[in-house]
Amino acid sequence: MPQKPHKIDQLSAEQLDENLDQLAILLHANVLAGASVSFVMPFDLPQSSRFWQHKIRPLVAAGDTLLLVATLNGRIVGSVQLECDMPPNQPHRAAIAKLLVHPDYRRKGIARALMVAAEQAAKQKNRNLLTLDTASDEAMALYKQLGYVQVGIIPGYALTAQATQLEATTIMYKTL
C-alpha cells in the first residue's frame, strides 16, 4: 500500500498530551541516532516524555512556542518548534528549534515541509526574522537551500549525543 503524503499540523497543548507517546518516540529515536538536540546518552523514553510534558507543553499552552508536527499515515514522523517569546525589543523575531524527523522517514521532504510551515506560521505572527543554530551539516544544507544565511560557528558549543566530545554549532538567520 503506498504511503499517503505527509501532513503538517500545529498542535495545541491538549493535542500534545494526546500525542505524547508519539512525540516521545520521535525525540528518543533522534537522540539514539546521534542528533545534537540538547540530550546525551543514556536517554530513555520517560526522559523524552518529561521534556515534552514539562518543558514544551507549558510553552505551547502559553502561546510562547508553536509546535508543528508532520504526520504520515496517522503517525507523527517529524516536528519543529517556533519560539516566539522574545524580549520587548525583538517583537519581529522568532527562533526555530528542534527540527526532528524520525530516522526511518528522512530524505522524504518532511524537514523541508516543516520549515516552510514554520516560516508561514512566523509570518502569521508578524515575525520577519528567524534565527536558529545547528550542529548538523545535513540540516545546514537544507537551511541554506531555504535561504538561511550562516552568521558564524561557535566551537565547543555542546556535547555530542554520545557525550564523548564537544561539537560546534552554526548560527543562521533568515529574513522573511
Check whether 13 has a pLDDT greater than 90: yes
Nearest to 174 by CA among 152, 153, 151: 151
- pLDDT, tens digit (0-9, with 9 covering 90-100), for 141-151: 999 999 999 99
Nearest to 26 by CA among 82, 69, 83: 69
pLDDT of residue 110: 97
- pLDDT, tens digit (0-9, with 9 covering 90-100), for 32-69: 999 999 999 999 999 999 999 999 999 999 999 999 99
- pLDDT, tens digit (0-9, with 9 covering 90-100), for 69-122: 999 999 999 999 999 999 999 999 999 999 999 999 999 999 999 999 999 999
